[in-house]
A and B are shown apart, each in its own frame.
Chain A
Amino acid sequence: MKKRTFKEWLKQWDQGEFDLDRGEAEALHYRPETQEKDDDSWAHRPVRGLREGEYTLFVKVYPFAALLLASVMIFFFMRTVAELPPFASACTPANQSEVIRRYIENGLTETGAVNIVAGVILDYRAFDTLGESHVLFTAATAVFILMLAGEAEPEDKRTRRILEADTVLSVTARVLFPLIVMFGFYVILCGHLGPGGGFSGGAVIGGGLILCSMAFGPERISRLINMKTYRGVVLCALLFYSIAKCYSFYCGAHHLETVFSPGTPGMIFSAGLILPLNIAVGLVVACTMYGFYSLFTRGTV
């Protein structure tokens, strides 16, 4: 399929002609009978260990037993909720503890982060966040192993052509892609000044990359992110994170007491290591999210 500029696209869309044969043009329209149905019938064959009669009894009883279990669970949980301290009161133990007091009253001077949540997760509890990054990395490794095993299936050509012929998708992607990526970088870089941080910003950038890849084909993104750059970025980011954390343990494990001073709260270059850590986490997450998409559609990165 030859490439067309945006104006040609609009013209062709006006005239209603597409570079598709008839079957594919039909596939662009909504056809409810081809929609994926919930394959939800019981298999009418005995499960091993159960005789035929026992199995039909099991099939009859199981839904009611499940509903009964859920009802009992709701009842006990509701009783617990009613027994809890009243909702939204300031004097519950959870909201009165000295830990919270320390975080709020000394957080600004100790970490330099205006956003107290960012200070908590990337400074006081940075070890927790390191574990979280490793969970994400381990999940990515598991997905790589599962999807790369066996022969790599190329993306279905028909799906690709339908996506490329979709005017709504390509126009939307053209307008939104720069905005989404810009917003993602803003969320990462201002993670210590306002709501956001490495993980949400990375997810936003990953979503933008997926949108671009969907609309214009995966070749454009794979120039930027391929297996080699993915490995490099994830390795560097996690290593930097681990080294920063090791250094803080070496210094007495209070929190990330480093040569980086907290700086003036409210400035972009402040809050010590929180900004570099946010960037590291954001890079890992953006690459991993795009990697998930790429593995699911094409079986390779």
Chain B
Amino acid sequence: MLQLLWESRIQAVAVLLFAVGFTTLLLHRNLIKKVIGLNIMDTAAYLFLTSIGYIPGRLSPIVADGVTDMEAYVNPLPAGLVLTGIVVSVSVTAVMLSLTLRLYRRYHTLNLDEIYRLVYAEQEDV
């Protein structure tokens, strides 16, 4: 198994990065840290997808000298899919950060537990 993992080391690194991002998301209670963790998970998934389409010895998918042979270029489809994904991830980041700012304006803390506590306290007051 280790031999196989060594051969597909980029995918193994992508899995490790995914786990690092996931652990950040679970263990940190600071909201900005959670956003960074989610971004790391995103890039890990994109790295995995891109590595699937890579074939060594072939050119990047930009037609050179009119050669339109399938054996000459790497797979263009993962690149197209990941390009869409990057846009979505930056949109999600912007929305999450604006939510974070609103939460900070209301509760004056970035700690998620503290925010929960304040929310419960508010509800009990009502």
Contacts and interface: CB of A to CB of B under 8 A. Distances in A.
Are both chains from one complex? yes
Number of contact residues on A: which range applies? 35 or more
Interface string A110-147: 00001111001100010011001001101110110011
Interface residues of B, number: 69
Given A136-B87, A139-B91, A105 B70 contact: yes
Given A99-B77, A100-B75, A43 B91 contact: no
A38 B68 contact: no
B70 A104 contact: yes
A78 B75 contact: no
Interface in A57-92: 63, 66-67, 69-71, 73-74, 77-79, 81-82, 84, 86-90, 92
Contact of A292 (B16, B33, B94): B94
Given A74-B19, A87-B8, A87-B51, A121 B84 contact: yes
Contacts of A140: 91, 94
Contacts of A81: 4-5, 8, 11-12, 15
Interface string B27-67: 11110010000000000000000011111101011110010
Contacts of B97: 296
Contacts of B66: 108
Enumerate the 5 nearest inter-chain pairs by beta-carbon distance, A residue then B residue, closest first: A139-B91, A87-B8, A43-B113, A116-B61, A66-B26
